[in-house]
Amino acid sequence: MRREEAARAAAYKVPDLDLQNVSVPGSEVQVPVRIYKPRRAASGLRPLLIWHHGGAFVFGGLDQLEAHVVACEIADRADAVVVSVDYRLCNDEIKLPTPQIDARDVALWCLENAHELGIDVNHVTVGGASAGASLSGSLSLILRDLGIEISGVALIYPVAHYQGLPVSDELRELCVGHRVFPDDFKFLHNPYLLPDPSARPELYPFPGEAADLSRQPKHLMIHAEFDTLRATGEPYAQQLRDAGVVVDESIEFGTEHGYLNLVPADSEGMDRTLNKMAEFISQR
């Protein structure tokens, strides 16, 4: 964690929640998760958000602001149970779709342990930011193929495609002066994650490459304004619509990629996004 992020984390006041670290018995490894539950009495079974942090599939974890603060805020604002997933990161030995395997195993564990978690199995949302949004898009397709219905998918500044998509001159000019990704980012980065793009296609390593995107639940998709990776997120939203999926899509103005790695007190854009997410997750 960078120094400024560590300072924000230290200053962040956790809402009145119970936090529990658990190891989920996955099909390949034990997957660490952190469970967030409001301490206040529940009026009934709570909705569930299964949350996946970003980090280009190569960094990040449960203490990352994009994981911990988002999970805290959504549990509090949506009166929900949030399970934050510490999926395996890619390195010289671990490649995609390893994170997809971990995400699938955690989702199945959550559903199998719904009573203990106090969740409504008919009110489950999967979501994530950046690479975590890509992972959540994959997970939605995996669960669809398994015949498991979920109620929603929340994708924040998502990456959806293996192949690099062109950045328009208008978007490139808009992002001048902000943290942007170079044109060759995907060309250099994605082969490191996935040497063979056709590996385990049933696990959908990049959801935007799937041949069939139909029969999925409603998606909430929020893009950062100053983000060249809108060149993958926005086309993915249209792909979903073309497949008959309902997409609630918006741009969070005044933000750049990764803005959930802040705290809401320091970012109006983050605060607005958290409220949109909470409303989406709370819908029945």
Q: Which domains are seen in the chain, by residue range? A: 3-282 (3.40.50.1820)
Question: Cβ distance 248 to 221 under 8 Å?
Answer: yes
Residue 85: both structure tokens together: 């997933």
Whole-model pTM?
0.96
Q: At what angle do helices 98-112 and 131-145 cross, to 10 degrees?
A: 60
Confidence tier at 195 by pLDDT (50, 70, 90): confident
Mean pLDDT, residues 129-141: 98
For residue 280, the surrounding DSSP H or E stretch is helix 268-282
Residue 270: what pLDDT? Answer: 98
H or E segment to which residue 119 belongs: strand 119-129
The 3-state DSSP class for residue 25 equals strand
* CA angle (26, 29, 33) in 5-degree steps: 65
Lowest mean pLDDT among 67-76, 197-206, 254-263: 197-206
Question: Rounded distance, CA 202 to CA 163, Å?
Answer: 18
Handedness of CA 77, 254, 207, 53 (dihedral sign): negative
Token pair listed for 150: 């979920």
Q: Contact 48/119 with Cβ under 8 angstroms?
A: yes
- Whether 200 has a pLDDT exceeding 90, the answer reads no
Report pLDDT for 264. 96
- Give CA–CA dist 62/32, Å, rounded: 9
pLDDT at 166: 87
pLDDT 10s digits, 13-62: 899 999 999 999 999 999 999 999 999 998 899 999 999 999 999 999 99
What whole-number distance in Å separates Cα of residue 229 and Cα of residue 167?
8
162-190-158-143 Cα dihedral, nearest 10 degrees = 70
**How far is Cα 33 from Cα 126, in angstroms, rounded to an integer?**
14
The answer, yes or no, to whether residue 179 has pLDDT greater than 80, is: no
Number of other residues whose CB lies within 10 A of the CB of residue 28: 10
The pLDDT of residue 263: 96
Judge whether residue 256 has pLDDT over 80: yes
36 CB neighbour count, 10 Å cutoff: 25
